């Protein structure tokens, strides 16, 4: 036994020191059971010469020359194709000479100037850049680099792929630098990292990059033309309510739409009616964050609302034979829609934004619904200490999400309790807990009951008159939209469309025995 121990200990002497957490502790002391002195042990730094930091960024010189050569051979067609497929930056080219040549070609194209080997060399000469790019011989070499312009699409794909890889390298390097220098909440850092990574995939540019007025005016004129040629129809995402669409023109990308009311006045029902119309009728993908109701309860309400079946009767165990075909048909339509529901409770604004990005990336979401704002939380220390500051951070985070993904976001909000005692119409100052909601929102609508002469018992009314008061709209008029809330169906309809036949019978419909 003694000889065996001697052999093992002799073998230990040849083992190298460990490079793990306690890199200074020898393998002999570890395996022999000696207690290490962790105060003296130090983690060893990773080797810095990893063979990566000194590499050139990804690029394809021949493909870049091929793109420029094709443009010189067929300027109008090839340059238009390149501008269409490339991001609006000359950095898509790695070589500085190619960046300079391409930028000047684009400028000449926008000014509708003739582009050929002579005009481009003259422009470069006028701006004292001809020698910097290699002179006339290099321009001639570019033109001779390709036999024809037929393979332009392949060259474009290669150049664009290398550009995306360079952006990935640059973004990841910035992320590493942020991690080492970041002082604050890790949730905020993760949110910024996800945003930057998503920008790589979507081909987006840095948000700090300013856009010239030429492009802005062109886009605005396109919007004006679309409005004038629409004949008064909604140009944005339609809601299913004709009067509301006329006043808003539909909800547009980047807008934060706030629908506010006191509890039990139909905020969720109105938002889900709009989401149902968008996903079922117009076949658009919709994302719903339900922080209050479960996914099953929300889906049950949607099915009954679309089928026009009395939900209260179902909860009490009563259903007519005629209800089942309607429920089945409505359920089938909703099942085939492109709606995603996330009913995770207690989300923070950072978590919600991360999940929204994933939904948008995977399913191309065109509308988000958040039910509701006051159930979200902030992750910053300052927000946790001050509720008004927390709601302000949540509101600005939702607005930033709408602009980042360029989709409309409907967010529900509570109103202050004072509105019940005042017996007046809601106003912007009634938004609960923070005035920043009013500032961030592009559209603010208040739901409130319309007073019925001689009858204050709202619970006994099956078809309740409810108005949507548009208190703020950046790009449209303010006013009121008359609606009717069919409580038994949890469904809103335009007041002008409701007839006596649409009013549900909320009385006990138990079949006679």
pLDDT tens figures, 310-333 = 877 777 767 777 778 888 888 888
pLDDT at position 285: 92
DSSP string, 415-437: B-THHHHHTS---GGGBSS-THH
pLDDT at 207 over 60: no
pLDDT tier, 419 (very low <50, low <70, confident <90, very high otherwise)? low
pLDDT tier, 409 (very low <50, low <70, confident <90, very high otherwise)? very high
- Please check whether residue 80 is in contact with residue 103, taking contact to mean a CB–CB distance below 8 angstroms: no
Distance of CA 86 to the CA centre of its chain: 22
pLDDT at position 111: 78
For residue 79, give the nearest of 67, 88, 87 by alpha carbon: 67
For residues 347-352, give the mean pLDDT: 82
Mean per-residue pLDDT over the chain, rounded:
76
Q: Which H or E element spans position 480?
A: strand 479-486
SS3 at position 171:
helix
Pairing of strands 367-371, 443-449: unpaired
For residue 268, give the nearest of 365, 353, 417, 372 by alpha carbon: 372
pLDDT at position 39: 52
pLDDT at position 257: 92
pLDDT at 408 over 90: yes
Read off the tokens for 305. Answer: 């609302």
Lowest-confidence segment of 140-149, 202-211, 265-274 by average pLDDT: 202-211
pLDDT at position 211: 54
Domains (ranges, CATH) in the chain?
Answer: 2-31 (no CATH), 61-160 (1.10.860.10), 237-502 (3.40.50.300)
- Please check whether residue 268 is in contact with residue 412, taking contact to mean a CB–CB distance below 8 angstroms: yes
Phi, psi at 410, each rounded to 5°: -90, 120
Distance of CA 143 to the CA centre of its chain: 43
pLDDT at position 492: 86
CB atoms within 10 A of CB 250: 17
- Tallying the residues shown for the chain, one arrives at 513
pLDDT tier, 7 (very low <50, low <70, confident <90, very high otherwise)? very low
For residues 195-221, give the mean pLDDT: 60
C-alpha triplet 88, 235, 275: angle, nearest 5°: 100
pLDDT at position 355: 84
* Residues 6+ positions from 153 with CB-CB distance below 8 Å: 81
């Amino acid at each position: 036994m003694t000889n065996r121990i001697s052999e093992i200990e002799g073998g230990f002497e040849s083992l190298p020191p460990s490079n793990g957490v306690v890199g200074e502790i020898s393998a002999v002391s570890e395996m022999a059971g000696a207690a290490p002195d962790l105060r003296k042990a130090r983690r060893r730094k990773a080797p810095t010469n990893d063979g990566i930091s000194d590499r050139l960024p990804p690029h394809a010189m021949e493909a870049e020359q091929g793109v420029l050569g094709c443009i010189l051979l067929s300027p109008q067609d090839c340059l238009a194709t390149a501008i269409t497929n490339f991001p609006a930056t000359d950095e898509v080219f790695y070589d500085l000479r190619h960046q300079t040549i391409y930028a000047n070609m684009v400028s000449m194209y926008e000014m509708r100037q003739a582009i050929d080997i002579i005009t481009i060399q003259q422009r470069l000469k006028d701006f004292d850049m001809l020698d910097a790019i290699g002179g006339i011989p290099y321009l001639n070499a570019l033109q001779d680099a390709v036999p024809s312009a037929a393979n332009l699409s392949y060259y474009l794909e290669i150049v664009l792929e290398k550009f995306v890889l360079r952006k990935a390298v640059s973004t990841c390097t910035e992320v590493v630098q942020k991690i080492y220098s970041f002082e604050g909440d890790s949730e905020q850092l993760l949110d910024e990292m996800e945003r930057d990574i998503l920008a790589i995939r979507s081909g987006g540019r840095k948000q700090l990059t300013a856009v010239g007025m030429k492009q802005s005016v062109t886009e605005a004129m396109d919007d004006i033309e679309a409005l004038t040629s629409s004949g008064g129809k909604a140009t944005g995402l339609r809601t299913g309510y004709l009067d509301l669409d006329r006043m808003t023109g539909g909800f547009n990308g980047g807008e934060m739409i706030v629908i506010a009311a006191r509890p039990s006045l139909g905020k969720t029902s109105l938002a889900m009616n709009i989401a149902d119309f968008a996903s079922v009728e117009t076949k658009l993908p919709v994302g719903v964050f339900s922080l209050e109701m479960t996914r099953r309860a929300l889906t049950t309400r949607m099915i009954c609302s679309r089928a026009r079946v009395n939900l209260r009767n179902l909860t009490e165990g009563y259903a007519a034979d005629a209800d089942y075909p309607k429920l089945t048909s409505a359920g089938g339509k909703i099942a085939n829609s492109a709606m995603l529901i996330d009913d995770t409770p207690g989300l923070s604004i950072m978590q919600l934004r991360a999940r929204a990005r994933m939904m948008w990336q995977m399913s191309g979401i065109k509308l988000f619904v958040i039910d509701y704002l006051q159930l979200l939380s902030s992750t910053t220390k300052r927000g946790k200490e001050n509720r008004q500051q927390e709601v302000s951070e949540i509101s600005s985070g939702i607005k930033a999400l709408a602009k980042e993904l360029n989709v409309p976001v409907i967010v529900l909000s509570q109103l202050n309790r004072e509105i019940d005692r005042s017996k007046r119409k809601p106003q912007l100052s009634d938004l609960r807990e923070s005035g920043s909601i009013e500032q961030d929102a592009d559209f603010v609508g208040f739901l409130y009951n319309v007073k019925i002469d001689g009858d204050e018992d709202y619970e006994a009314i099956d078809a309740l008159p409810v108005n949507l008061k548009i208190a703020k709209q950046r790009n449209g008029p303010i006013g009121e939209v008359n609606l009717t809330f069919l409580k038994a169906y949890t469904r809103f309809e335009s007041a002008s469309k409701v007839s006596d036949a649409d009013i549900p019978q909320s009385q006990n419909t138990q079949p006679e025995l």
